Amino acid sequence: MKIVADNTVPYLKGIAESVADVKYLNASAFTPENIHDADALIVRSIDKCTRHLLEGSRVRLITSATIGFDHIDTLYCDEAGITWKNAPGCNAVSVAQYVLASLVVVGMRRNESLQGKTIGIVGVGHVGKEVEKLCVAYGMHVLRNDPPRAEAEGNEGFISLDAIAERADIITFHTPLTRAGRFATFHLANEDFFRKLKKNPWFINASRGAVHDTSALLKAKKEGIIGELIIDCWENEPNIDRELLDIAAIATPHIAGFSADGKANGTRMCLENIETFFHVKIEKKGEVVPPAPATPVIDLEHFPDYRVERAILASFNPLIVDAALRETPGKFEEFRSNYHHPREYAAYTARNATVAEGALLKNLGFQLY
């Protein structure tokens, strides 16, 4: 068996070689010539699996180490008999922790407590559920909007997008990007949506860039309809809107899901897909684990104030990559490719927490001394 893999899929090298000849390529080298004799592709979102790439090849399986799959021409794959798999939920915890860390930064900057604020979550799938868990643990009120789930499960527990616009202090989007159908999400956050906002909410997009209409978002911010902007996903990446960059409270290069844990999850899911499809056993799959954090113990005694919040930011602080992106926005894709993947809360142990602090940190996922 021959596998062609993106050479930036973490923790992969040396793992599948026991069952296949594995060739590693960068995204620009994913050409028809280089993949034509591959049985399987292991890809990321930067690897565009189009008809042009795949037609005439012997590829039978495409497995992506990502939640999203809009980089795969699924219609062509279905037509050509090529099985495709994504990695749903692999980085859900990572995105949720990005959202919380970003909210903590903005809250501290404004000297406002997040406890008691109402957050509207648009899209309550793998990621949205994890966002909900953290926000509830942190003492926030949660409103949920997910029309496909409401239709399948019943309306109880879900509200309309208009109700989110009216009632939420913070609104965060965690939908896939879809352009057709009754539940299309392309430009879901558009001028009509922003016009309905009532509470000068903070707005977060950590899903897909085109879920918001950039022109409408800029207008809403300039008119004071939106209070704060946290933007990880941009229209037309990597050619991001510089005006949106300037006015965002936090701006990052689509790295919300890039924890080391999420990356390892995505890689393992790709390997599991290969095992299932080709009926093989990859013995080294269990070796796909992220390294321990450089400083796995967080001592709250080191923090003069905002002790829980500073513990959260000790595990991941979005301001570091925010500063880098603002300095050289043209390196958007370079930042993604060379990102230092942080560990998730479970990899850290907090010490010297009060009873109340310890209870909160444990609910968020930290270990305690």
Enzyme catalytic residues:
208, 237, 254
Contacts of residue 173, Cβ cutoff 8 Å, sequence gap at least 6: 122, 123, 188, 189, 204, 205, 206, 207, 211, 212
Contacts of residue 270, Cβ cutoff 8 Å, sequence gap at least 6: 9, 12, 42, 63, 64, 65, 85, 87
325-344 burial: b if 16+ Cβ within 10 Å, else e: beeebeebeebbeebebbbb
- Whole-angstrom distance, CA of residue 154 vs CA of residue 146: 11
- Whole-angstrom distance, CA of residue 5 vs CA of residue 43: 6
Pairing of strands 83-85, 141-145: unpaired
Say how many Å lie between the first and final Cα of the chain, rounded: 48
Size of the chain in residues: 369
Q: Any bridge partners for residue 170, and if so which?
A: 119, 202
Backbone φ and ψ for 309, nearest 5 degrees, come out as -60, -40
- Whole-angstrom distance, CA of residue 147 vs CA of residue 144: 10
Token pair in block for residue 334: 């370079």
Token pair in block for residue 188: 């879901």
DSSP type of residue 283: G
Q: Which helix (H) or strand (E) holds 277?
A: helix 260-278
